[in-house]
Chain A
């Protein structure tokens, strides 16, 4: 039955006529598996949560009369005797992009029903995600030891700490949840869980949507919090 519903989308018009058709015909509006539509809608709501954090950060940064700490200096690391600005954040950014790439490949291999490659690519994605969280823990530890607190810090405006811990903390929580999610789905792929359910691997794409979203949010955090 659900196949018939999905197939009816095959012959439909593209563009705006397609939008009218999709909404007015007696069928599912979105011609995608329900799990995927729901994941998209969840991500939409998550977009609003992260936007509220970022807009709140913008508001406190505009309204404070104290100088804002210079992220380039606060997040600098001394490597081999020289201070490199923002280097840990740059490494974290590259790790997350690498993990997005392995995830995209995992989705592709999933649709090819190559279970072994899908499993290992998802495990690699999870490992990269875990190393990202590890680096974030290191960064938090460093800032806390330097006296950065949600209510104040030695480098400038007090609001810096609360914005930093809220935004990166909430994002780190998403990454951690994503690592668990990835591992659960990866092992199900490996164990043949989805073979018993008709060999359908769109779940890998749904997991991928979540993971890419986490990377997407980091793009905005990187731009607005670390670079601005």
Chain B
């Protein structure tokens, strides 16, 4: 496949475009229908990865690139998982020591939208 650009049938783009709208609507519904807890977080992540996948794979043409480019671009961000893991551990620890030393929060926040 010589690089005569990324020439693909328009139909593919229209399909992905519609799917992106549908999935975005679903992720908005997660909030609108007030899903809570594990269900909410799972749905948010699933819809997020589906959307990100469509954009990278089709709109950014990653599907049709050679494996060398795919690995060079999509490989390095995997190390972010280490950062996320370490920072969430650290965050839990900091919260724990704040609770130990300063006690629970006494803040009484206002409810938004009541001005």
Contact = CB atoms under 8 A, between A and B. Distances in A.
Contacts of A76: 112-113
A138 interface: no
A166 interface: no
Interface stretch (A65-73, A127-135, A174-182, A187-195): A65-73
Given A105-B10, A108-B8, A228-B41, A19 B71 contact: yes
A97 B2 contact: no
Given A31-B66, A58-B88, A104 B59 contact: yes
B113 A55 contact: no
A86 interface: yes
B3 A223 contact: no
A195 B105 CA distance: 65
B38 interface: no
A67 B77 contact: no
B112 A108 contact: no
Interface in A37-52: 37, 40-41, 43-44, 47-48, 51
A39 B47 CA distance: 26
Contacts of A47: 77
Contact of B115 (A44, A104, A146): A146
A interface, how many residues as a size bin?
35 or more
Residue in B61, B68, B102, B104 whose Cβ sees the most chain A Cβ within 10 Å:
B68
B95 A104 contact: no
Contacts of A105: 10, 13
B98 A6 contact: no
Given A101-B17, A223-B44, A93 B24 contact: yes
Contacts of A10: 1-2
A212 B59 contact: yes
A41 to B, nearest CB: 8
Given A59-B88, A66-B105, A155-B112, 12 more contacts: A7-B2, A31-B3, A59-B90, A63-B94, A63-B98, A76-B113, A85-B31, A93-B24, A100-B20, A209-B60, A212-B59, A222-B27
Interface of A: 6-7, 9-10, 12, 14-16, 18-19, 22-23, 29-33, 37, 40-41, 43-44, 47-48, 51, 55-56, 58-67, 69-70, 72-74, 76, 78, 83, 85-86, 90, 93-94, 97, 100-101, 103-105, 107-108, 111-112, 146, 154-157, 201-202, 205, 208-209, 212-213, 215-216, 219-220, 222-223, 226-228
**5 tightest A-B CB contacts, nearest first:** A62-B91, A63-B94, A223-B48, A22-B68, A101-B17
